[in-house]
Amino acid sequence: MNDAESAHFRALESLYAAAPVNRLFESRLEIPAPGVARIRFTIDERHFHAAGAAHGTAYFKMLDDAAFYAANSLVTDRFLLTTQFNLLLTRPLAAGPVVAEGRWISGRRRVFVADARLVDAAGEEAARGTGTFMRSRIPLAGLPGYRL
């Protein structure tokens, strides 16, 4: 990883931390390599549905974010937008730590495909998702929080 790539990854991590929606979740983004993103977060009772497990909104948010940042790690000038996202929820998430692991699959010009999975504290996969992301007209450099 070169210095420019590392600076871009740290700026994306800062952008994630600055997003107002992330005040609703105790979470932290890490981009360790091109096309890879990891979000560590904690599910608690605020995220539960009436039956006492994490609501699907928490699954979607973390899967989408992990896949999105895996893809946007490959784009240094523009913010990507989610255009489609498919979810497979395989087990309920209880309160506790969860990791969303995102990985770029294909695309380098206009449209990107990335997937993500959620892994609970026991190491069990709880969900998986695949998304498509498109370059927007929004420059990364103009977004609050994106600091090179």
Going by C-alpha positions, the residue among 131, 138, 36 that lies closest to residue 85 is 131
- 14, pLDDT greater than 80: yes
Band (pLDDT 50/70/90 cuts) for residue 147 is confident
**Bridge partners (DSSP) listed for residue 30:** 38
- 1, pLDDT greater than 80: no
* Whether 8 contacts 76, CB under 8 Å: yes
pLDDT digits (tens, 9 = 90+) for 68-120: 999 999 999 999 999 999 999 999 999 999 999 999 999 999 999 999 999 99
The domains located in the chain, with CATH, are 3-142 (3.10.129.10)
Q: Which helix (H) or strand (E) holds 4?
A: helix 3-18
* Mean per-residue pLDDT over the chain, rounded: 96
Percent of the chain at pLDDT exceeding 70: 100
Task: Count the helix, strand and coil residues of the chain and give each as a percent rounded to the nearest 5.
Answer: 30, 45, 25
pLDDT in the model for residue 148 = 80
142: helix, coil or strand? helix
